[in-house]
Structure 1
């Protein structure tokens, strides 16, 4: 803050929060943030990139959290990092356009862009567009960006950066994914 802001204006300023790292739990953390915000009466929108499956969090939100609106822009399959299919690029672009529309609407107190960092790293969405969106968001909007590979530039402009680090993962012991844990 180059110019000193008043305490009141700081309290009203929305945050840019980044949840990144190679550990499990980034999306779950974002859903926890959405749960906390809806509990305080916030209107929250969560846009998922590169995900098309109805994960447990999505099913629970649809059932129990009417103030949490969720959009998914992806297929229920992995995206090839160095060779994404045209449909993956198109879905990510559609998701980003929806994110811009939602943010500009002023309808939400918090917007979560789940896996946006991966979409940028996979070159599905230009980094500069995401940085511009974060820098030019409405002043009072809280913006959460999740996914591995958050860029140095994004980390720099964020108000909060949390890194989830893998110490140990059950996959390495041959334990497969299962409902209620991975999805």
Structure 2
């Protein structure tokens, strides 16, 4: 079997669909018998639709490194910083184990934007990834340094969102 070069993909921007795109890519990889690691930063709720279904899928490992509450942008709590650092440690471990074909670091870019992790830490980690591994980073606030090293960058742009019209987050749609 031919080993393909892994890619670095970034899904960012203020529009909806970053995690959804990563979920779709994960399902596509699973459909081809690939192994997927899905690591959620800053998310701790078990009520996300992906958490409920991922527990039932083979070849998929899901880990959440966040609390089930909002994090203060201006003043994140030490526990939030520690949990984000735990997420980086898990990514590093997964890279060393080299057991996945695809890893999604969901909302890692938000953790960067909230200063829970540094750009240099993420860049150093990216350098550690196995050559065949495809890594997806999602979330708002992608810094230029990451955009510059990514193989594929998708920027989701919001034109309109139902939330602005008073529609609350919908089960199966936003979570």
**TM-score (normalised: structure 1):** 0.91
Q: Structure 2 CA distance, aligned partners of 1:67 and 1:27?
A: 19
Could you say what secondary structure the match of 2:25 adopts?
A: helix
Equivalent of residue 167 in structure 1, options 137, 155, 159:
159
Q: Give the alignment of 1:73-88 within 5 angstroms.
A: 73-88=65-80
For residues 27-51 of structure 1, the C-alpha deviation after alignment (integer angstroms, 9 at most, x for no partner) is 1111111001111111110100000
Q: Which has the larger radius of gyration?
A: 1
Q: How many residues align?
A: 173
Unaligned regions of 5+ residues in structure 1, if any? 1-7
Post-superposition offset of 1:99: 0.9
Post-superposition offset of 1:15: 0.1
Could you say what secondary structure the match of 1:162 adopts?
A: strand
Q: Contact 2:95/2:128 (CA < 8 Å) preserved in 1?
A: no
Partner of 1:3: none
Equivalent of residue 34 in structure 2, options 32, 42, 49:
42
Partner of 2:174: 182
Unaligned regions of 5+ residues in structure 2, if any? none
Q: Structure 1 CA distance, aligned partners of 2:45 and 2:134?
A: 26
**TM-score (normalised: structure 2):** 0.95
